[in-house]
Homo-oligomer: A and B are copies of this chain.
Amino acid sequence: MQEFKILEKILPMLTQREDIAVGPGDDCAAIDLGDGVCLLAGMDQMVCGLHYFPDVAPARIGAKLLKRNLSDVAAMGGEPAYALLSLASLGGQAEWFEQFFQGLEEEARQWNVSICGGDLAGLPAGKVREIMSLTILGRIRKERLCLRCNAAAGDFLYATGCFGNSLTSEHHLDFTPRLAEGQFLAGTYTRAMIDVSDGLLVDASRMAAASNMALRLDLDTIPLRPGADLSGALADGEDYELLFAVRPELAGELEKNWPFNIRLTRLGTFEKGSGVIDVMNNNLLKLKNIGYEHQFK
């Protein structure tokens, strides 16, 4: 499904109230609540067989659904607080539901998130066992909001963690959303951030395009997850790491003060122009064999 092409046509149709600080097209929407506080709102869905295999333990599925959404809050720099869940299912056993909700609830408690509403429905017999959607709500101070459109010429691109091979390694189930890192960075070292769900190259190019910038990537610096090659690191997706832009004069301080165990890597530089290019001046988005509209989102 050509999600991007459809959105290109549809997003401009949607009128936004004046109290919407950030509308559709970023990791979350931001609603101005007054007093300098924004409500963050994001929504992300998972389809059995596409976003996880049917034999995955239900508790891990529930946790993954929440974590994907937490990663979107992290990318805005925010703090999650509430979630609502829609689940449509062929009507499995009560045990499956219990374990699913246990996994979801356990993950939610870790982040002080309350599952405060939702909807259950049946599905007609067919190939999809279940499909689920979660809405995450959170808060952030307005002056700390991180948007993908805020990168400027000369900014360095940094990333948390490493990339590629998320499916086989089960990182896509086991990852920790980078909430602490996002909150540390937001408004101090960056105002430009995105999370990597669809692949490093696609998400980096979205950040560059939203900022009207080109991005020069140093491919040699990209940290590979065990078992990953460069092509996978660029295109596999489901890394749930943060990409963010840092002004060069803050870079040294950031690297010195970085308080987390998770690695921090400088991957490139934003510059005037468009597209994602490597240090050899190749246009990476035109390279073959990088399947950035792959099935496994």
Tell which of A2-10, A199-207, A228-236, A262-270 binds the partner.
Answer: A2-10
Are the CB atoms of A98 and B28 closer together than 8 Å? no
How distant is the Cα of A16 from the Cα of B114 in the complex, in angstroms? 5
Q: Does A47 contact B (CB under 8 A)?
A: yes
Interface 1/0 per residue, A93-126 and B, CB below 8 Å: 0100110011001001100101111111111111
Kindly report which residue of chain B lies nearest to residue A27, judged by CB atoms: B117
How distant is the Cα of A124 from the Cα of B99 in the complex, in angstroms? 25
Q: Given A84-B29, A86-B86, A135-B43, does the pair A16, B116 have CB atoms closer than 8 Å?
A: yes
Residue in B29, B84, B91 whose CB lies within 8 Å of A43: B84
Distance from A48 Cβ to chain B, minimum over Cβ atoms (Å): 9
Q: Does A17 contact B (CB under 8 A)?
A: yes
Copies in the complex: 2
Are the CB atoms of B114 and A23 closer together than 8 Å? yes
Q: Does A219 contact B (CB under 8 A)?
A: no
Please name all residues of chain B whose beta carbon is closer than 8 Å to the beta carbon of A63 when the two chains form the complex.
Answer: none
Q: Does A24 contact B (CB under 8 A)?
A: yes
How distant is the Cα of A297 from the Cα of B16 in the complex, in angstroms? 31
Please name all residues of chain B whose beta carbon is closer than 8 Å to the beta carbon of A114 when the two chains form the complex.
Answer: 14-17, 20, 23
Q: Does A39 contact B (CB under 8 A)?
A: yes
Residue in B1, B17, B125 whose CB lies within 8 Å of A112: B17
Please name all residues of chain B whose beta carbon is closer than 8 Å to the beta carbon of A121 when the two chains form the complex.
Answer: 1, 3, 45, 47, 50, 297
How distant is the Cα of A241 from the Cα of B221 in the complex, in angstroms? 60
Are the CB atoms of B88 and A45 closer together than 8 Å? yes
Distance from A243 Cβ to chain B, minimum over Cβ atoms (Å): 20
Are the CB atoms of B86 and A10 closer together than 8 Å? no
Q: Does A214 contact B (CB under 8 A)?
A: no
Q: Given A1-B120, A124-B49, does the pair A98, B9 have CB atoms closer than 8 Å?
A: yes
How distant is the Cα of A45 from the Cα of B98 in the complex, in angstroms? 21
Distance from A295 Cβ to chain B, minimum over Cβ atoms (Å): 8
Are the CB atoms of B128 and A31 closer together than 8 Å? no
Please name all residues of chain B whose beta carbon is closer than 8 Å to the beta carbon of A20 when the two chains form the complex.
Answer: 82, 114, 116
How distant is the Cα of A115 from the Cα of B29 in the complex, in angstroms? 10
Are the CB atoms of B43 and A6 closer together than 8 Å? no
Are the CB atoms of A94 and B6 closer together than 8 Å? yes
Q: Does A279 contact B (CB under 8 A)?
A: no
Residue in B15, B47, B97 whose CB lies within 8 Å of A105: B15
Q: Given A24-B115, A29-B84, A45-B86, does the pair A101, B133 have CB atoms closer than 8 Å?
A: no
Q: Does A137 contact B (CB under 8 A)?
A: yes
Smallest CB-CB A-B distances: 3 pairs: A126-B127, A1-B122, A86-B133
- Could you list 9 A-B pairs, sorted by A, with CB under 8 Å? A7-B120, A29-B84, A31-B81, A33-B33, A45-B86, A47-B122, A119-B133, A126-B127, A135-B135
